[in-house]
Structure 1
Amino acid sequence: MVLRFGDRAAAATLTDTPASRQLTAMLPLTVQLKDVWAQAKSGRLPHPLTVEDAVPVHDPTPGDIYFWSRTEVIAIYYDDLGQAVPDPGLIRLGVVNAGLDSLANAGKRVTVRIDSAAGTSS
């Protein structure tokens, strides 16, 4: 998928999981991301993802994309501050392959349009 913000973009690959397939079905979508803890950009999805039987992550990896089911938020981590994520944990959706630094430096609030890699028009 492609994350577009301003005149920049980041490329990402989603995992082959039920939650990631649900996210793909929502595309294209626009999400308002905030950077509250100086380690991830996060914003609420328009619909929750089903995460039953998903393996929770409590130690997120920079560059990975996660879903926090408690608040229906997608989060793109760009730094590791050594903090553990409390239960129920994060659900890994994918990884940013290119453009992570641009997204990390995009400011405290950024509007991101997420498109599938194959359907990036409009």
Structure 2
Amino acid sequence: MTSNATDRDLSAAGTHIGQSLDQLRTDIAALSETVARLASEGAASTRSQIRESTSRAARGASAAGEQIYQDAAALGRDAAETAHIATAQIESQIARNPITAVLVALGIGFAVGIMSRR
């Protein structure tokens, strides 16, 4: 091989390497853009999942709160009804036995009076 042929081969190899480097730079730039896009989409997906989870938790808490409110209201109604029944029974007992009721009330008043002096 001659020096001229070697120079041409080196020149061709240099051109090929230069083209390969240019192609590599282009591929790396495209890859960087793809990675950036995927990261952005991943972040958006994560935000969306967090929003959905938060929304689901809020709906669950709201439903639980509503159920607690309904249960408390039912217990309140039951307590009021029980108190009303007990009051009606006591009033009925007093109406049937007024003297006994007065004596019981005096006894309770006397006991409370003695206890409060101590």
Q: Does TM-score exceed 0.5, indicating one fold?
A: no
Q: Structure 1-normalised TM-score?
A: 0.16
**Which structure: larger Rg?**
2
Compare relative contact order (CA 8 Å, sep 6+) and give the higher one, 1 or 2. 1
Which structure has greater strand proportion? 1
TM-score by length of 2: 0.16
Q: Which has the higher helix share?
A: 2
